[in-house]
Structure 1
Amino acid sequence: MTDQLAGRLTPSGHELQVRVYFEDTDFSGVVYHARYLHFLERGRSDFLRLKGIGHGELLAGRFGTPIAFAVRHMDIDFLRPARIDDVVTVETRTQHLGGARILLAQRITRGEEVLIEAKVKVAVISPEGKPMRMPPAILTQLEPGAD
């Protein structure tokens, strides 16, 4: 599935192109480190959206009881800088699925050059913030290679 604004699903996961704007950079035109979190979040959100698991649908209880996803832990390696006007690609893929959490592998690239590598642990929670089990339909959708 594709969506001009949401990127595209790939055999290994999802890709989203993002242009670097002035607001993303520091005084020297280099992307400020915290802005990469925004790019990674957009990649995760659009990956879920194209898999049929939008955040609004989760909270509305489309998969049974209302749930939400919350980032529990993140490891990021800042390898190379992106600069103003670069077009970078945010890659997201499911690395591991558990009963109550997901481990996502994400990268930000510029062409063939890897700029950022991240591992993101996402927990399944109730709207009140209590841990929950992952609904089976979501597990199926997030399996690597599932469309």
Structure 2
Amino acid sequence: MKIDHDIAGWLEDGGHRLDVRIYFEDTDFSGVVYHARYLHFLERGRSDFLRLKGIGHRQLAAGEFGAPMAFAVRRMEIDFLRPARIDDVVSVKTRTRQLGGARILLDQKILRGEELLLEANVKVAVISPDGKPMRMPERVLDVLAPQSGG
């Protein structure tokens, strides 16, 4: 799997960072990011975190880590703390908090510089192609295990 690190962000401090520019399409009439757009930024952060860890969605679906599988967001809790605005560059930070046999708990943050704009706790389920819960392959567990670091 070829990875373009320039657009996939980078791994740092046991997690992942992806910088995103806020465009007109991301905002409401006042130039403030529309709340639903944050879901897109968080998804990109999770996907690129996996990608840089060597776990591509296509490879998961093809069964390259064991049986064919996918990840699906099961639950998400979001605190919107401050707004991002058009032309801002924000950082989406993603880290594994906890792994279970069939789930991953992730902590995600969106920051503008050092200013915290959003915090999200995400529960991701591991599912088979027919949508049923399944156990995560050992190789995936090893790669996604939480690491220490700030």
Task: Please classify the TM superposition score into its range, dividing by the shorter chain length.
Answer: over 0.9
| Residue 54 of structure 1: aligned partner | 56
Which residue matches 1:103?
105
Residues 82-121 of structure 1 correspond to what in structure 2 (within 5 A)?
A: 82-121=84-123
Report the Cα offset of residue 144 of structure 1: 2.2
Seq. identity, %: 73
CA distance in 2 between counterparts of 1:105 and 1:145 reads 13
- With normalisation by structure 2, the TM-score equals 0.95
Map of 2:12 onto structure 1: 10
1:40 and 2:42 aligned: yes
Contact 1:101–1:124 (8 Å) recurs in 2: yes
Q: State whether residues 9 and 15 of structure 1, in contact with CA within 8 Å, keep that contact through their aligned partners in structure 2.
A: yes
Question: Gapped runs of 5+ residues in structure 1?
Answer: none
1:70 equivalent among 42, 65, 72 = 72
The Cα RMSD (Å) is 1.3
Counterpart-to-counterpart distance in 2, 1:25 and 1:6 = 23
The whole-number CA distance in structure 2 between the counterparts of 1:117 and 1:62 is 32
How many residues were matched structurally? 146
User: Does the Cα contact within 8 Å between 1:30 and 1:81 map onto a contact in 2?
Assistant: yes
2: CA distance between counterparts of 1:77 and 1:36? 11
Q: Gaps (5+ residues) in structure 2?
A: none
CA-to-aligned-CA distance 1:72-123 (integer Å, 9 cap, x gap): 0000000000000000000000000000000000000000100000000000
How far residue 12 of structure 1 moved from its aligned partner, in angstroms, is 2.3
1:40-85 deviations in Å (ceiling 9; x for gaps): 0000000000001110000000011100000000000000000000
Rounded to whole Å, the distance in 1 between the matches of 2:33 and 2:53 is 29
Change (3 A) 1:21 1:74: same
Asked if structure 2 preserves the Cα contact closer than 8 Å seen for 1:2 and 1:50, the reply is no
Question: What letter corresponds to residue 94 of structure 1 in structure 2?
Answer: T
CA distance in 2, matches of 1:105, 1:34: 18
* TM-score (structure 1 length as normaliser): 0.97
Structure 2 counterpart SS, 1:4: helix
Where has structure 1 moved over 4 Å in runs of 4 or more? none
